[in-house]
Amino acid sequence: MVVKVVGRYQIQARIGQGAMANVYRAYDPSINRVLAIKVLKREYCRNPEFTMRFLREARAAGALSHPNIVTIYDVGEIEGFPYIAMELLDGEPLDKVAQRQGQFASTDILTVGCQLADALRYAHGQGVVHRDIKPSNIMLGKDGRSVKILDFGIARLADAEGAAEQLSMTQVGQVLGTPRYMSPEQALGRPLDGRSDLFSVGALLYELIMGKPAFTGASAATLALQITQLDPPPIDVDCPRGLKFIVNKLLAKRSEQRFVSGAALHMALQRERAALEAAQGADRRRLAFPIRAALVVSAVTALALLIGIGAVLDTQYRAMERVAVTSGSSIVSFVAANAALPAAENAMLPADQRDWLPVQAFISTASADPNVSQMIVADHDGVIRAASDPRLVGAHYMEPQGRRVTRDASGIAVTSVRAADGTRSFRFAHNIEYAGQRVGLVDISVRKTELQAAAMLTRLSLIGLGLMILALVAVLSVLAARYVMQPVRALRTGLQDAADGNLDFRMSQRRSDEFGDLFDGFNALMDTVAARAAPAAAAPALNLDATMIAPPSNDIAPAKGVAA
């Protein structure tokens, strides 16, 4: 019979089926929404137990609102057929993906595990234990990363009614859950809490890592024996050590040895995922810690030296520049004083009677200094009358163009200029005054060659000193890091011995620093572990009589049809 309508929902196609129900793609015309409808199969409709179990899914999942749990929209019953309207998921069940893909990458496993742990944290906080976590009940989104938990059909509500239902169903010999993923306490028909779901998550993660189930028994009885008494084969594939530890802890036979809650599992998986991402982002062939420490310290020292040397050189150059300016100012003042009287006399004479030869002779003598590149004397009209370069005599004086350095109280203007040959000079311009009247101007250019040579010598000296300091810091950093690594290596050796089963190892080094406190803590830990590792009572033997997994009865009367 083809189902076409369930209540107000228009059935479009059957998209799946489970042990108890068929799942259809449907359309809700009242709100223009496509969704999924789960309808209990005909053979189970007249059995109150299965009807109650089916509707329990709606009670359990309908009260939950979490991004990793399927959303329930509506629940009802049409002509004796219970149904659940729920979110239509765009993806693929995890079991089908695992069959096609085999082993999953560690990053994908951690991503799936974090979402499952967070969803169970929320569900358990709301008093709901799923009891049937398995790959076929996990929908993997098309992005390959997001998951949602489905099928709360055998979930237990943590209230008195739920406890009574669980007790009655266990007493009649039914163990709810998929045998391959159920917890030991679930296989033995014992009371359950959220840690039972965490065991199932461990079995699921194990299968994603290894590409095969943790427990491979061919029958329900064999599976129950394996789950309650035997450990799964060790994880021998390339898998992060932290992830192996998490899975092994989840698969502990005793619930108190597992993670205490979904929140604790989520935190552990998040830490492992962050560590794995950090490790993948770094170079796998990392340098040893002493070398890395030396590089870090050397880099910081180099930066400090660079800033310090730069500041020192800048301060030193400015100081040397001030000395050069003071010296040049003295020279130009001396020349202006000696040229003042001849310039004043010539200023009072007609142009054809002026005599500038004494000034030219003085300029020729004064400009013999190798540091003086040019010396000019101009009259009050701005015409050059004497110069170290005779070709300039008679030309009009041009003010210097460049970076103005200073103008002191005596009126000397100092400018930093670049000559045509690329050399830098200071140009000192000073008015020639006589009896308070301006009668001319002196312009002297002093080369910066010696100033720059002195600055370069200082720069090279400081750089050499900085490199020596940097090399010394690098060597001392390596030695210090190696010294620090000695107690770390000793502690690592102790931890490795403990991992190999040698619980008698103790740290004998006596230290009065923080490492001494660490060694004392290690010794105290080993004492506690050794005490707990003392022979304990053997685990209870499996009582197969207490574990009976019964298939659904075949003599359930079929129900009459639904609207077709």
Mean pLDDT of 43-72: 81
Helices (H), 175-288: 184-187, 194-210, 220-229, 241-250, 262-281
Q: In 392-408, which positions are buried (b, 16+ CB within 10 angstroms) versus exposed (e)?
A: bbeeebeebeeeebeee
As given in the structure block, the two tokens for residue 234 are 């060790």
Above pLDDT 70, what percent of the chain?
86
3-state helix, strand, coil in the chain (%, to 5): 50, 20, 35
Mean pLDDT of 176-187: 82
More confident residue, 216 or 17: 216
Query: Which residue in this structure is represented by tokens 């019953």?
Result: 77
Would you place residue 409 in the very low, low, confident or very high pLDDT band (cuts 50, 70, 90)? low
Q: Does domain 301-455 sit in CATH 3.30.450.20?
A: yes
Pairing of strands 372-379, 9-17: unpaired
pLDDT at residue 94, rounded to an integer: 94
The answer on pLDDT for 170 being more than 50 is no
More confident residue, 68 or 538: 68
Start-end ranges of CATH 1.10.510.10 in the chain? 91-281
* Alpha carbon distance 447, 454 (integer Å): 13
pLDDT at residue 165, rounded to an integer: 44
The answer on pLDDT for 563 being more than 60 is no
Do 563 and 78 touch, CB atoms closer than 8 A? yes
Would you place residue 418 in the very low, low, confident or very high pLDDT band (cuts 50, 70, 90)? confident
More confident residue, 252 or 59: 252
Mean pLDDT of 517-522: 85
Start-end ranges of CATH 3.30.200.20 in the chain? 5-86
Task: Write down the catalytic residue from 132, 151, 197, 443.
Answer: 132
pLDDT at residue 327, rounded to an integer: 84
Helix (H) or strand (E) segment spanning residue 310: helix 289-347
Would you place residue 263 in the very low, low, confident or very high pLDDT band (cuts 50, 70, 90)? very high
Would you place residue 254 in the very low, low, confident or very high pLDDT band (cuts 50, 70, 90)? very high
> Residue 383 carries which DSSP code?
B
pLDDT at residue 286, rounded to an integer: 64
- Collect all residues with Cβ–Cβ distance below 8 Å to 357 and sequence separation of at least 6: none
Mean pLDDT of 14-38: 89
Residue type, 371: N
Do 125 and 64 touch, CB atoms closer than 8 A? no
More confident residue, 46 or 232: 232
The answer on pLDDT for 562 being more than 50 is no
pLDDT at residue 225, rounded to an integer: 92
Start-end ranges of CATH 3.30.450.20 in the chain? 301-455
* Alpha carbon distance 316, 17 (integer Å): 86
Cα torsion 123, 124, 125, 128: sign:
positive
> Residue 396 carries which DSSP code?
B
Mean pLDDT of 72-100: 89
pTM: 0.54
Residue type, 396: H
Mean pLDDT of 512-528: 84
Based on the residue annotation, tell me whether 381 is a catalytic residue of this protein: no
**Terminal Cα distance for the chain, rounded:** 7
pLDDT at residue 178, rounded to an integer: 65
Would you place residue 557 in the very low, low, confident or very high pLDDT band (cuts 50, 70, 90)? very low
Would you place residue 227 in the very low, low, confident or very high pLDDT band (cuts 50, 70, 90)? very high
pLDDT at residue 234, rounded to an integer: 93
Nearest of 27, 21, 55, 59 to residue 40 by alpha carbon: 21
Q: Give the range with max mean pLDDT: 217-226, 243-252, 441-450.
A: 243-252
Provide the mean pLDDT of the chain: 83
Do 490 and 515 touch, CB atoms closer than 8 A? no
CA distances 531 to 46, 50, 361, 525, 535, Å, are: 57, 50, 107, 10, 9
pLDDT at residue 410, rounded to an integer: 66
* Alpha carbon distance 457, 320 (integer Å): 13
Mean pLDDT of 491-514: 77
Would you place residue 548 in the very low, low, confident or very high pLDDT band (cuts 50, 70, 90)? very low
Would you place residue 57 in the very low, low, confident or very high pLDDT band (cuts 50, 70, 90)? low
pLDDT at residue 125, rounded to an integer: 93
CATH number of the domain at 5-86, out of 3.40.50.150, 3.30.200.20, 2.40.30.30, 3.40.225.10? 3.30.200.20
pLDDT at residue 353, rounded to an integer: 86
Mean pLDDT of 255-263: 94
As given in the structure block, the two tokens for residue 37 are 């409808």
Q: pLDDT for 420-443, tens place per residue?
A: 667 788 889 999 988 888 889 999
CATH code at 91-281: 1.10.510.10
* Alpha carbon distance 52, 556 (integer Å): 15
Would you place residue 534 in the very low, low, confident or very high pLDDT band (cuts 50, 70, 90)? low
